[in-house]
A and B are shown apart, each in its own frame.
Chain A
Amino acid sequence: MLGWELPPHNSGGLGIACYQLCKALSKRDLDIEFVVPYEAEHGIDFMDVTAAKPQKVSSVHKSGIAYDSYKYIMSDGTEKWLNIHDQQALYEHSVGQLAEAREFDIVHAHDWLTFRAALRVKEIKGCPIILHVHSVESDRAGNKQGNPLVHEIESVGLHMADRVIAVSEHTKKAIIRDYGIPADKIEVVRNSIEANDLVPLDGDNVYKYLTLMKTFGYRVVVNIGRLTVQKGLPNLLFAAQKVISKAPKTLFLIVGNGEQYNELIEMAAGLGIGANVLFADFQRGKAWRDAYAVGDLFVMPSLSEPFGLTPLEAIGYGTPALVSKQSGISEVLKNCLKVDYWDIDEMANKISSVMLSDQLRDELIANAYHEYQNMSWDNASQDVHELYQQQLSGLPV
């Protein structure tokens, strides 16, 4: 299995999805070796985690979030920084070397950063490759074509792949639309969540101001995610202005960082809602969990979200969700509110309705939590396992 990250060294949902899928697959009598581009301790016992490292490098350090540079410490003690494209090329080279020394039946690679490496292995070993698409470039670029180099890697990789897995119907459609891959080559295997794996809340909520304001009748809208074009936050701020005009006791908590950080802060001020919108930067651990818990509504306004784990995490921490209809999660979750990402009036209407009615919030979360508790990765791992068997037996699809 070729991947870019695993928890606790993940920057987002990709690492968690890989981790949970492998954990569920390991129960199906499969031996998995997971190759990441960096060296770190993961504390994982259900599969081997290998760092793909070229010979002259003694260690690789991954910085905080995806798309940042990697620091290489060479065997002679010198340091070297690599950008994402160079890093990708190096990963391909390293995986190629690893593959020469290994015996395996199938290669399963996650997202474009690993696609070239997967193709290299196919070239060397001739084994089937399955490419798992957690997002396509047009998702990340906010419905634009995006980076042409990435576009090309996805295009070549997806055409060369023996099978393609998409994390939702939404993503499958995007793959067909953007790359002209035949529909029957693409299998939808939806991500999920393991309710028992969520770290429980503990102690007082760290958002003391918000907790206090709630006792005065204020209600809190939360968003957690990268502040990047894909996530659609400007629309949430436009909606926030309208919400506050109807439900003035509404506060917005935005947790995350990214290239839009400063732009969004300035925008909130410009809309005259600076006092109601709190930016809390990127958070991990307790501050991350408490952000979900302090909310009365979690909003995911993404322009395009292949799956969307955050609403499920919010529900796990007791907060109902409003999700964009342009998301994978809106295909599966029934007890949530849904809105087109571009429909700012309707987004404001739905947020306001929850802010004005605790009954609506309580009924939404009660039913959503029930759905959440019944979710698991078992179905996904079964589908993937069957896909492996089909490939290895050579049966027609």
Chain B
Amino acid sequence: MKKAIVLYLHVHQPYRIRHYTVFDTGAKHDYFNAPYESSESNEKVLKKVAEKSYLPTNKRLLKLLNENPEFKVSLSITGTVIEQLEKWSPESLQSFKDLCASGRVEIVAETYHHSLAFFYSRAEFEMQVDMHKRKIQEIFGQTPQVFRNTELAYNNDLASWADRAGYKGILAEGWDAVLGWKSPNFVYRPTYTNQIKLLLKNYKLSDDIAFRFGNREWAEWPLTADKFAHWLSEDPDATNFNLFMDYETFGEHQWEESGVFDFLEHLPKQWLKNENHTFMTVSEVIDSFEPVDQIDMPETVTWADTERDLSAWLGNPMQSESIHELYELQDKIIATNDLALIDDWRRLQTSDHFYYMCTKWFSDGDIHAYFSPYETPYEAYMNFMNVFRDIQFRLLEKGIPL
């Protein structure tokens, strides 16, 4: 069997909350309509990312698909970004559809709202996964077979759930603390499951592209496709190299000037020079290889920070309080049957809102790691809580006691 690169890109944009004050609470419900010139404007951010990343990257991916019959890629695209593409950049959405039309692009399952619902409400989680599946079927005409949770947040329970839900595979971080001496470059099986297979992100190789690519201080800079392909060939036993990263790596996190698009264009050519090399989608690699061992992850592992846990989203009291309060409202919100209210409530579940409230790096001034439209984590929390109180206000208006 040929050795495969499994390139998986994650596409997501949240609905950022506008500057929303105590005076807006109870008066206005337009939480996500920031003025176009502000840093919280969803339309502005989406159009910028479309121009810098989605359109130029998809153009190159389509060219690669056309020129290399063996090139394949997997994507996860959240419901919240699809909605925004429909509204503000239909040409980008069309370019994603064009990729899928090649038959060599696989869409991965996840929650529609990029939420952490799995950890708070199983019913809500399943609803969002189903909403996402239906949206993907409608837009791309495929049914996802492999699951990834928001922020790659994974534990044994999630694997069991995905197994029972009928997914053939699931994605997780290949974190050393869990893997020990094991290599992420094989297919595994989660403990306590029977059918499902586990793909682990090779974070060293993935981060070489996603984080270090444009860093001139890095000893390996500049990273060429030739050099990268050579690194992969140095592991003779590996079956699959799982390169998982944010789609926005291309053109947004790493700017065009860094040469990241050239890297993307040349990687398939360099890699496929050896006839024992190929590309596979996530489903293909799962169908091609048997698990070499089991992986046990009782604690939740994510793909973020050096801690690889959920502390970037739930680590301080502002974060944990606001997310708990939000899920507390679930039964009352759902019972209203008010689709606009339910939709707003779901948009608030997007994990980005809680990430913006993270204070871990704030004092150190490490703003680079900190993709937030707000000046401080406190402003993020204030806006969120004022919106939350407005959601409560809308329930009270309907005569539903809190």
Residues of A within 8 A of B (CB): 242, 246-247, 334-335, 337-338, 345-346, 348-350, 352-353, 356-357, 359-360, 362-364, 367, 370-371
Contacts and interface: CB of A to CB of B under 8 A. Distances in A.
A335 B358 CA distance: 12
A349 B22 contact: yes
A78 B339 CA distance: 86
B23 interface: yes
Nearest to A370: B363
B204 to A, nearest CB: 32
B21 A335 contact: no
Contacts of B316: 363
A360 B363 contact: no
A349 B23 contact: yes
Contacts of A350: 382
Contacts of A356: 22, 385, 389
A359 B318 contact: yes
B38 to A, nearest CB: 14
A177 to B, nearest CB: 25
18 contacts: A334-B365, A334-B376, A335-B363, A337-B376, A337-B378, A338-B375, A349-B23, A349-B382, A353-B381, A357-B318, A359-B321, A360-B381, A360-B382, A362-B317, A363-B317, A363-B318, A363-B381, A367-B363
Interface of A is mostly: helix
A349 B21 contact: yes
B359 interface: yes
Interface string B371-388: 000011011011001100
B28 to A, nearest CB: 13
Nearest to B21: A349
B317 A335 contact: no
B362 A353 contact: no
A360 B381 CA distance: 8
Among B22, B317, B363, max chain A CB count under 10 A is at B22
A363 B378 contact: yes
Interface of B: 21-23, 25, 316-318, 321-322, 359, 362-363, 365, 375-376, 378-379, 381-382, 385-386, 389
B363 A371 contact: yes
Contacts of B322: 359
Contacts of A348: 22-23
Given A349-B21, A349-B23, A353-B386, A335 B362 contact: yes
Contacts of A335: 359, 362-363, 376, 378
A360 B378 contact: yes
A345 B378 contact: no
A198 B317 CA distance: 28
Given A353-B22, A353-B382, A364-B378, A359 B363 contact: no
A353 B385 contact: yes
Contacts of A363: 316-318, 359, 378, 381
A174 B316 CA distance: 39
Given A335-B378, A338-B375, A363-B381, 10 more contacts: A246-B25, A349-B23, A353-B385, A357-B318, A357-B385, A359-B321, A359-B381, A363-B359, A364-B378, A367-B362
Contacts of A357: 318, 321, 381, 385
A256 B203 CA distance: 58
Nearest to B321: A359
A334 B375 CA distance: 10
A242 B317 contact: no
B381 A334 contact: no
Given A334-B365, A335-B363, A246 B317 contact: no
B286 to A, nearest CB: 43
B375 to A, nearest CB: 8
A349 B317 CA distance: 20
A334 B362 contact: yes
Nearest to A322: B378
Contacts of B382: 349-350, 353, 360
B21 A346 contact: yes
Given A349-B382, A367-B362, A370-B363, A360 B22 contact: no
Nearest to B320: A359
A351 to B, nearest CB: 9
A350 B22 CA distance: 8
A371 B359 CA distance: 13
Given A334-B365, A353-B382, A367-B359, A359 B317 contact: yes
A58 B40 CA distance: 67
B191 to A, nearest CB: 36
A345 B23 contact: yes
Contacts of B359: 335, 363, 367
Nearest to A362: B317
B21 A345 contact: yes
Given A334-B363, A335-B362, A353-B386, A246 B378 contact: no
Nearest to B382: A353
A360 B318 contact: yes
Contacts of A370: 363
Nearest to B24: A349
Nearest to A242: B23
A314 B25 CA distance: 30
Closest 10 interchain pairs by CB? A349-B21, A353-B382, A352-B22, A359-B317, A246-B22, A359-B321, A359-B318, A363-B318, A349-B22, A363-B316
A333 to B, nearest CB: 10
Nearest to A374: B363
Contacts of B318: 357, 359-360, 363
Contacts of B317: 359, 362-363
A349 B378 CA distance: 12
Nearest to A320: B378
Contacts of A247: 22
